[in-house]
Each structure stands twice: as C-alpha cells, then as structure tokens.
C-alpha cells in the first residue's frame, strides 16, 4: 500500500523518535531495533525514487569502471581499443547525458515525492499549456513502459519488489527505458575490446535475460514492475563476479592473486601499443608516461 509523503514522514518520525528514546533510556537492544526497523519501511516513496535514480546512473558507473584507469589486465591479451583515452572521452559524456535524460523522465516522480503537484500546477498554469503541465506533473507513461504507475511506491510483488513511479511518457523529446540498455551495453559493443564485449555479454545473460526468464510466466505486470528490481538484486553477484575475473586475470598474467594495482593493469593494457600493433593495424609504439 502506498501512502503520501506526509503520512509516511509522520509514521517514520514516530518510529525513529521511539527508537531514540528507548536507546537513551538504556533499554535492551531489541526494543530499539524493532521500532527503528519498522520506521525504515515508511520511507517507501523516498527509497523507491532512490532506486530509480540509481538505475539512471547505472550505465555511467559501469562505463566508468570499464573505460577508466587502471585498465583491466586482460586487455593485454584481448586486443584493446585503438585509442583508449579517446574512447573514454566519448563514452563518459554520453553516459552522463543518458543519466540526465533518464532523470528528466522521472520529473513527475520527484513532484509526487514532494507532494507539490497542486502547488506547481497553480504556479505554472499561467505560463505553460495544460498539456505540458500534465506531462511534467502527472504520470503520462504508457501501460507497457517499465515501472510505470500513478503512485510512487514499492510494493511486494510475486517474485520480488514491484517498483512503481509516475513518469513522463516516451516521445520525441523523452526517451524510453531502452536508453538505459543502449548506454549500458552500447559503448562496449561499439568501442570496447574483446574483453569488454565478452564481459558485457556475461552481464547481459546473468542480468536482464536471467530476470526475463524468472518472470516469464508471471504476466505482463510482473515483468514491467518486478523485472528491474530482480536484476538489481543479481547485480550484487555480478559485481563480485567481475572482481573475481579481475583477480584471476591478474593472477594468470602477473602471477599475483590480488586485485591489480594501477601499474600492473596499465602495463598489461599498454603492452600491444609498445609492440606497435592494435586491432591488427600497425601504429607507432605507445610510450607510457614515466612517473616523476
């Protein structure tokens, strides 16, 4: 069930104050933990919106990990891009722009969180057409769009959490959630090395495709509302898997079974340039900068 921000704030405040009072009175820990834990559940709308903001920034963080120093050790064995710094200069601004566009799509959710729809309606009505106000302040996304709904809240779903948020409808100026897919996987496919492509194929299979498989028989509503939260759950295991790959790569290449430091990773990534070859084309040997 979804409550307004004011109602949630009241219940959360009562829970937090009760927990704080019991703590200052020196009561046993279990009496403090219970009201504090239950109070967290009342921050439903805020946590839901934070979850969607987190999704908007996922491609940016993933591409930051993939395309910035220290470069993965495996690049020394799996054909790095022609000009790594140039690729980074393209990928990072694109990922930032994608995050901003996905946040713009969530403007109605921010309005719902603040409970400011009527206030903004009255303030902006003399200056903006009714159609524009409707797009900015209310849910106009179609039923087939992910995490779309009139209320801002999380609810217990059939398999996991169902995330529901008012959003701007997809149009010429507003992207669909496909932008998340393209910003997440596109840079590795278009500009990445063999390592990037293999890694992101693994992420695709163990993330969105596995989530699709799990919710396949649950119906359209389950897929649209629960699929993203299931993938976010899997992302913890995916993150650990990527770190293990880095550790094993460093162990095989450098005989050091720890996560690589900057020197080892960059040396492995620059190795093909020092040989004067990259992607099968001859280039001038790359000389890494010497440390001062």
Is it the case that residue 211 has pLDDT exceeding 70? yes
Give the mean model confidence (pLDDT) for residues 136-154: 90
Is it the case that residue 279 has pLDDT exceeding 50? no
Q: What is the mean pLDDT of the chain?
A: 81
Q: Identify the three-state secondary structure at position 245.
A: helix
Give the mean model confidence (pLDDT) for residues 30-48: 74
Token pair, residue 207, equals 């993330």
The pLDDT value recorded for residue 285 is 37
Q: What are phi and psi of 173, to 5 degrees?
A: -100, -10
For 174-210, the DSSP string reads S--THHHHHHHHHHHHHH--HHHHHHHHHHHIIIIIH
The pLDDT value recorded for residue 91 is 92
Give the mean model confidence (pLDDT) for residues 215-237: 87
Which distant-in-sequence residues (6+ apart) come within 8 Å of 259 by Cβ?
243, 246, 247, 250
Is it the case that residue 34 has pLDDT exceeding 80? no
Q: Which of 19-28, 69-78, 88-97, 158-167 comes out lowest in average pLDDT?
A: 69-78
Give yes or no for a contact between 80 and 71, defined as CB atoms under 8 angstroms apart. Answer: yes
pLDDT-based confidence at residue 276 (cuts at 50, 70, 90): very low
The pLDDT value recorded for residue 275 is 45
- Residue whose C-alpha is closest to residue 21's, from 12, 31, 8, 11: 31
Is it the case that residue 100 has pLDDT exceeding 90? yes
Pairwise pLDDT comparison (229 vs 15), residue with the higher score = 229
What confidence tens digit (pLDDT) does each residue in 159-198 have?
888 999 999 999 899 999 999 999 999 999 998 888 889 9
Which distant-in-sequence residues (6+ apart) come within 8 Å of 224 by Cβ?
144, 145, 146, 147, 148
The pLDDT value recorded for residue 65 is 86
Pairwise pLDDT comparison (263 vs 148), residue with the higher score = 148
């Amino acid at each position: 069930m979804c409550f307004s921000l004011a109602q949630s704030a009241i219940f959360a405040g009562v829970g937090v104050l009760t927990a704080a009072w019991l703590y200052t009175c020196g009561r046993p820990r279990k009496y403090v933990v219970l009201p504090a834990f239950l109070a967290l559940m009342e921050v439903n709308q805020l946590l839901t919106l934070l979850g969607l903001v987190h999704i908007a920034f996922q491609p940016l963080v993933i591409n930051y990990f993939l395309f910035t120093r220290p470069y993965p050790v495996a690049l020394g064995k799996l054909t790095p891009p022609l000009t790594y710094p140039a690729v980074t200069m393209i990928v990072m601004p694109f990922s930032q722009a994608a995050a901003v566009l996905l946040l713009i799509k969530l403007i109605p959710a921010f309005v719902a969180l603040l409970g400011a729809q009527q206030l903004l309606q009255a303030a902006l009505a003399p200056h903006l057409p009714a159609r524009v106000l409707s797009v900015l302040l209310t849910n106009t996304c179609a039923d087939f769009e992910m995490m779309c709904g009139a209320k801002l809240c999380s609810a217990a779903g059939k398999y996991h959490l169902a995330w529901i948020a008012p959003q701007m409808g997809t149009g010429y100026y507003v992207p669909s959630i496909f932008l998340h897919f393209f910003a997440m996987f596109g840079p590795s496919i278009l500009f990445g090395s063999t390592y990037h492509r293999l890694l992101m194929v693994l992420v695709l299979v163990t993330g969105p495709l596995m989530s699709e498989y799990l919710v396949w028989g649950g119906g359209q509503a389950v897929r649209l509302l629960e699929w993203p939260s299931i993938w976010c759950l899997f992302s913890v295991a995916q993150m650990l898997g990527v770190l293990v790959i880095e550790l094993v790569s460093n162990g095989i290449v450098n005989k050091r079974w720890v996560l690589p430091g900057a020197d080892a990773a960059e040396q492995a990534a620059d190795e093909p340039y020092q040989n004067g070859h990259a992607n099968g084309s001859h280039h001038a040997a790359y000389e890494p900068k010497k440390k001062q």
